């Protein structure tokens, strides 16, 4: 049974969301109940996104995390919302030390006995936890503590989100409604994983082991004896914040080398290891005075299976080779593009993205612009973006931004293809594609031998008029039955109107009234059948990214460039 806190949070959430809900309803019906829908401009969507962003921050930890998740889901939200939510920072004041102290001692025992020293001033605070400095056996450590009471608050908020989903599904189309329902399950799993510091310690140790032989990457070592599901203690590794360019220059660090090594580290995590740090914002990355990169906070992490790893490699190689057809094929195979999309128009979109992403020289690309422009068109297609792929896209975008901050001339695609070639992935991909092409050629040759005799037999049957075609019509939703009823009601209504007019002119009032009442009844049934399930909902065709949309997309891009 839902707690009183859940009901109270539901009322509070509705208070924040009600203006947006009314606005969305008016988009569909200008006067809420009647009237045509209205066109919503990009400025209006951005203004609403800003309001929603402020609401999410005011509602606290759960909704901050929800906003961060939504910033990775262009299949659920329009691009304006994704862009605004990408600025959402998980940086909040730390909780009261007394409550934190109680939590630590419940899990680890008295602080004075477990730690040599413990600084009660938090060095960082987030919505789910906060970090303190301490000492264990004379060595500096960082202690990450789950925010007291946050688990109960999140449980209440997750229930509120469950209650909101049916309401929100009414405001979007069927494809987005499906994504929303799955997003609730995904968010539930994601936020529970991020609160589980035992899981985070396991991921941290796995990534640390994967980079054990690296001279350029540092991953803090965790202390199992001082950790629990709510407390994570790890060695404290200091460093220069990765976007502090002045401090990096003063320390004499080669920023270009750091950018290249950072990109290669993420490629290794995603393409080779299959487990990756999924939150590469500057607060979680530092650089030591010797140039080594330090990774902090593995609460947000992801896993890439063999299929996803292969497709990511193929995508990068296809972009580097400007193989538009292969880019589209990979996007369809990964689930980021509908198979029914207009390939000719999408090829133009991809080509435009690559052209716009070029730097000062013709060979330079900007992967962030490529991903961003593809995301802008993704919202037009009916599909669900898999969670791990969404995390990979987020990591690629943020990492490229950090690398460009370090070195404005940094070329992510060049670094990626160089790394993939060095590891042998590029040659392996070429061999695999060649094998697939050879297999298809053999299949085509075999079909060329089998098809002519069968075609000749079919033509002979047609000539003898001995060809029968059986057609099965599936009508699981009863659409054909409703359409038939409407045709019949329409015919009866038309006949009734004509009969009523004829009787009114040439017969008695009583006869006219009887037929007129019958005609009205049939007309009511006709109108009711349309209200129960009109063509707009029953025979709706999913929107495609048409040529007009492409022209609007291109013109918007030109306006951005001119500004």
User: Among all residues, which ones are annotated catalytic?
Assistant: 279
In 3D space, the residue among 193, 167, 120, 228 whose CA is nearest the CA of residue 22 turns out to be: 167
The DSSP letter of residue 220 is P
Q: At what angle are helices 306-321 and 425-463 packed, to 10 degrees?
A: 90
In 3D space, the residue among 546, 548, 550 whose CA is nearest the CA of residue 350 turns out to be: 550
Q: How far is CA 464 from the centre of its chain?
A: 57
d(CA 223, CA 143): 10
Q: Cα angle at 231 between 229 and 234, to 5 degrees?
A: 115
In 3D space, the residue among 235, 243, 237 whose CA is nearest the CA of residue 281 turns out to be: 243
d(CA 2, CA 62): 17
In 3D space, the residue among 190, 69, 65, 204 whose CA is nearest the CA of residue 128 turns out to be: 65
* Farthest-apart Cα atoms in the chain, separation: 110
d(CA 195, CA 536): 44
Question: Per this entry, what is the length of the chain?
Answer: 563
d(CA 68, CA 12): 20
What are the start-end ranges of the H helices in 335-471?
343-356, 367-378, 387-406, 412-422, 425-463
d(CA 26, CA 21): 9
- Strand (E) or helix (H) holding 129: strand 129-136
Q: Token pair of 167, please?
A: 């309401």
Q: Token pair of 269, please?
A: 């995590």
The DSSP letter of residue 39 is -
Torsion angle in degrees (nearest 10) through CA of 270, 273, 275, 276: -50
* Residue 335 zone, left/alpha/beta (φ > 0; ψ -120 to 50; rest): left
């Amino acid at each position: 049974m839902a707690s009183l806190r859940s009901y109270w949070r539901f009322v509070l959430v509705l208070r924040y969301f009600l203006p947006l809900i009314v606005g969305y309803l008016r988009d569909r019906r200008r006067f809420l109940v009647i009237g045509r829908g209205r066109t919503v401009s990009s400025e209006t969507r951005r203004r609403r996104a800003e309001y929603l962003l402020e609401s999410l921050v005011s509602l606290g930890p759960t909704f901050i995390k929800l906003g961060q998740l939504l910033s990775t889901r262009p299949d659920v939200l329009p691009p304006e919302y994704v862009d605004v939510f990408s600025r959402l920072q998980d940086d909040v004041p730390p909780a009261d030390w007394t409550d934190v102290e109680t939590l630590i001692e419940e899990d680890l025992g008295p602080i004075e006995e477990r730690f040599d020293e413990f600084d009660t001033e938090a060095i960082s605070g987030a919505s789910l936890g906060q970090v303190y400095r301490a000492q264990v056996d004379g060595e500096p450590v960082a202690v990450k503590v789950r925010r007291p009471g946050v688990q109960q608050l999140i449980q209440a908020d997750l229930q509120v989100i469950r209650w909101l989903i049916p309401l929100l599904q009414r405001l979007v189309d069927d494809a987005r409604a499906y994504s929303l329902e799955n997003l609730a399950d995904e968010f539930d799993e994601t936020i529970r994983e991020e609160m589980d510091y035992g899981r985070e310690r396991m991921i941290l140790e796995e990534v640390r082991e994967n980079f054990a032989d690296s001279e350029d990457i540092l991953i803090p070592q965790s202390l199992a004896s001082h950790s629990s599901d709510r407390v994570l203690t790890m060695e404290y590794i200091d460093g220069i914040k990765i976007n502090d360019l002045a401090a990096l220059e003063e320390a004499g660090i080669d920023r270009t080398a750091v950018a290249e090594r950072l990109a290669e580290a993420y490629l290794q995590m995603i393409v080779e290891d299959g487990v990756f740090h999924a939150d590469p914002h500057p607060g979680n990355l530092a650089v030591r005075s010797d140039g080594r990169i330090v990774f902090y906070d593995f609460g947000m992490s992801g896993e890439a299976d063999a299929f996803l790893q292969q497709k990511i490699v193929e995508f990068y190689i296809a972009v580097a080779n400007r193989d538009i057809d292969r880019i589209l094929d990979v996007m369809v195979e990964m689930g980021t593009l509908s198979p029914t999309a207009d390939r000719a128009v999408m090829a133009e979109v991809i080509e435009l993205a690559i052209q716009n992403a070029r730097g000062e020289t013709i060979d330079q690309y900007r992967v962030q612009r490529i991903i961003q422009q593809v995301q802008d068109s993704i919202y037009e297609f009916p599909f669900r973006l898999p969670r791990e792929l969404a995390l990979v896209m987020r990591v690629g975008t943020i990492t490229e931004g950090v690398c460009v901050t370090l070195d404005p001339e940094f070329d992510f695609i060049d670094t990626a293809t160089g790394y993939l070639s060095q590891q042998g992935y590029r040659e392996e991909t070429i061999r695999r594609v060649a094998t697939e092409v050879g297999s298809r050629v053999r299949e085509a040759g075999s079909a060329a031998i089998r098809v002519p005799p069968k075609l000749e037999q079919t033509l002979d049957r047609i000539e003898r008029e001995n060809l029968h075609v059986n057609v099965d019509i599936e009508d699981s939703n009863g659409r054909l039955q409703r359409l038939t009823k409407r045709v019949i009601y329409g015919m009866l209504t038309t006949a009734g109107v004509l009969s009523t007019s004829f009787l009114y002119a040439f017969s008695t009032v009583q006869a006219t009234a009887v037929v007129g009442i019958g005609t009205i009844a049939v007309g009511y049934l006709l109108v009711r059948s349309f209200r129960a399930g009109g063509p707009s909902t029953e025979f709706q065709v999913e929107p495609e990214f048409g040529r007009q949309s492409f022209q609007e997309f291109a013109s918007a891009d030109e306006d951005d460039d001119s500004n």
